[in-house]
Each structure stands twice: as C-alpha cells, then as structure tokens.
A and B are shown apart, each in its own frame.
Chain A
C-alpha cells in the first residue's frame, strides 16, 4: 500500500550538534540520520562540524573521521572502500550512492546523509536488506546446464556472446538502484526491483545457460516485472554506471516479441 508519510515511530527529530574542536576554518557541516535500537526513541538527525583539512575526498572519509574523532557510536557498513563490495551504499545528498565513490567536494553547502530509503533501519545508516536478498535468490542466479559436472572442458562462449554480459556482470548488488525506485518503495515485497531484474536479465542473456525460457516465464508477472514504469531513478543512481532501466526494458521487449 502506498504510504507517502513516514510512520509515527520513524519521524525524524532534531539531534545533537557536534562542534568542531580544532582551529581549522575549513569546515563542512554534515547531517547524519541516527537511530539507536537500544533506546526507545524516534530517529534523529545529528549535525557534525567536520574539519576538511585532515580528511580524504570521499564521503566515506568523512564518516570514518566522525567515527574516529567526534562520535564513535556512529554505525555504518563499509569494507573495501573502492566501490567493489557495495557495503557502504547510502543516500548522500538526496541520491543513493556508494559513499566510498562519492566525493564530498562535488556537494556544495551542507551534506546530508541518510540510510537507503524505505527500508527497516537496524542502526543509524545500517538497513535490513533481507527481502532483497530473498528476491535475488528467487531468480536462481546461477548457471543452469544439462552438462554433467564430470565434464572436463569448460563451456565455450564466443566473444560476441560474452559481450552481451557487459554492463550486467559488473553489478555488485549494493541496492542503490532498488531502494531509489518509488515502485519498489510501494511494492517492495512483490515487485522484484531493478537490481534483481538486472541480475535476472544477466542470466537470461548468458549463452551458456539452458534455462532462458523458464527464467523469462518466471519474471513475466504483473507485479514482479511490470511494476517498472521507467521512472529511471535506478539508472540515475547506479554508482557503477550501469543501466537497470534498460535491462528491464530488454526483458519486457523479449517477452513482447517471443
């Protein structure tokens, strides 16, 4: 059901203000969404004054600096810091992105950081993505072939067939696209969302896979696939520069022409 307003327990209150203690004048004001599961309180928006003189260029550097210097209780996911693992996906300045890829120098004025939209918050910037992972599992993202596992040779793929996977295999499942999609916000449990549909298309396009027809049949559903209305928030937000909207469009076209 479409609910435009946040539920009562999710309304964001004004939070604490952390003043800069150094003498630097190169300051960035950073607002960050906070919620502590141990306290029975609404989420709040804390404000930090961050000294940019001793800080790297990325938004993740700011978060690390705050955790190290200002408030060690700030909670967020991170791992590789090079846009490969997809852990540090969050909403920076109104658009979902990987905080390790986004430079804070691109953002003029005050910086606002929220968790990925319309998900259950676990703590601060950490959200529950278990529904998305279940949906990912539902498309069976592995190679299906009748060839025996005792076969000694690899399954060959022509250069042209391999090229069909470009722009698809690079996806790291960071969930930036799915959680940017209003359709996914309102129908997150039935609509598969751009990330999972791009993955579905990746397996549909694989020349080595023998289950193409079944895969297409599985996603050909009013709710699973056709809740995509080409809003294109997914493509605008993808930190890897991929195009989930196009992948979904290709699935729709395949179904219409087959």
Chain B
C-alpha cells in the first residue's frame, strides 16, 4: 500500500480512542502478560527443585516491593483477560454488539477486574 511518492494518510496518530478499541488492545497485552505470569509460575517450581537456598532467594524477590507489584499486576491481568474473554464469548453468541451495550460491558470488565484483584488478595492474605 505504501507508494514511493504518495504519502500514507495518518492513522494511529490521529484516530480517537474509544472504550472498545482500548479494551481490545488491552486484552491482547494482558494475554502476553499472562504468558509471562505462566512462565514465572514454572520458574517458581524450578527454584523449588534447585534446593532451599534458591527457593529462599525467589521468596525474597517476590516479597520485595517490586515483586509484590508484579504479582498483583499478574492477578489483575489474569482477571482482566478472563472477564474480557467472557465478553468476547457473548459476542461469539451474537449478543452485545450495540455500541451502548459494548460500552457498558467494557466498563463492567474494567471495574470488576480491579474488584476481583482486590478480593483475591484480601482472600490470599486472610483478611476475609
């Protein structure tokens, strides 16, 4: 499509973001982050098999501020991807294509991804 002489009209640079487009790209990014999360779970098991010292080092890493941030981030990305995936399943059944419905379902996904992350950590830490 690129011509040597004729320019390409601007696209990403000028197009306004909608809730729907923002959620679509976030869904993909969350998918990639989930892959990293999965790899780090395998890594966790791996450090266990390498003996106590290695495992303690891993514990130290995830108990640091950065480690906690990453773990909470992983939880959010998992719940976001799951909820957004359910939204995609509804589309596959043929529901929720109206702009208004899609915006509402999008906002629900965003809000509940945070809510479920908070609930997950409260449960994990034994607060509830």
Residues in A lying within 8 Å of B, measured CB to CB = 4, 6-7, 9-10, 12, 33, 35, 37, 42-43, 91, 93-95, 112, 114-122, 127-128, 131, 180, 182, 185, 188-189, 229-233, 235-236, 243, 245-246, 249-250, 252-253, 256
Contacts and interface: CB of A to CB of B under 8 A. Distances in A.
Nearest to B102: A232
Contacts of B18: 232-233, 236
Contacts of A94: 14-16
Given A230-B91, A246-B98, 19 more contacts: A4-B12, A9-B4, A9-B5, A9-B7, A33-B9, A117-B14, A119-B9, A120-B6, A185-B11, A188-B1, A229-B24, A230-B20, A230-B88, A231-B20, A232-B97, A233-B20, A235-B97, A246-B97, A253-B93
B5 to A, nearest CB: 7
A12 B24 contact: no
A117 B20 contact: no
Contacts of A252: 92
A233 B15 CA distance: 10
25 contacts: A9-B7, A33-B10, A42-B7, A43-B7, A91-B14, A91-B15, A93-B16, A112-B14, A116-B9, A119-B9, A120-B2, A120-B3, A121-B6, A122-B6, A189-B1, A230-B20, A231-B21, A232-B102, A233-B15, A235-B102, A236-B99, A246-B98, A249-B91, A249-B92, A253-B92
A236 B20 contact: yes
B17 to A, nearest CB: 8
A155 B22 CA distance: 46
Q: What are the 4 A-B residue pairs with the smallest beta carbon separation, nearest first?
A: A94-B16, A246-B97, A10-B7, A232-B20
A12 B10 contact: yes
A95 B16 contact: yes
Contacts of A10: 7-10
B14 A6 contact: no
A12 B88 CA distance: 37
Interface residues of B, number: 29
Contacts of B92: 249, 252-253, 256
B16 A117 contact: no
Per DSSP, chain B at the interface is loop
A114 B97 contact: no
Most buried by A among B1, B15, B97: B15
Contacts of A43: 7
Contacts of B15: 91, 94-95, 117, 180, 233
A131 B1 CA distance: 9
A22 to B, nearest CB: 30
B13 interface: yes
Contacts of A189: 1
Contact of B13 (A6, A119, A122): A6
Contact of A120 (B8, B11, B91, B99): B8
A122 B7 CA distance: 8
B126 interface: no
Nearest to B16: A94
Most buried by A among B5, B7, B21: B7
Contacts of B93: 253
B118 to A, nearest CB: 28
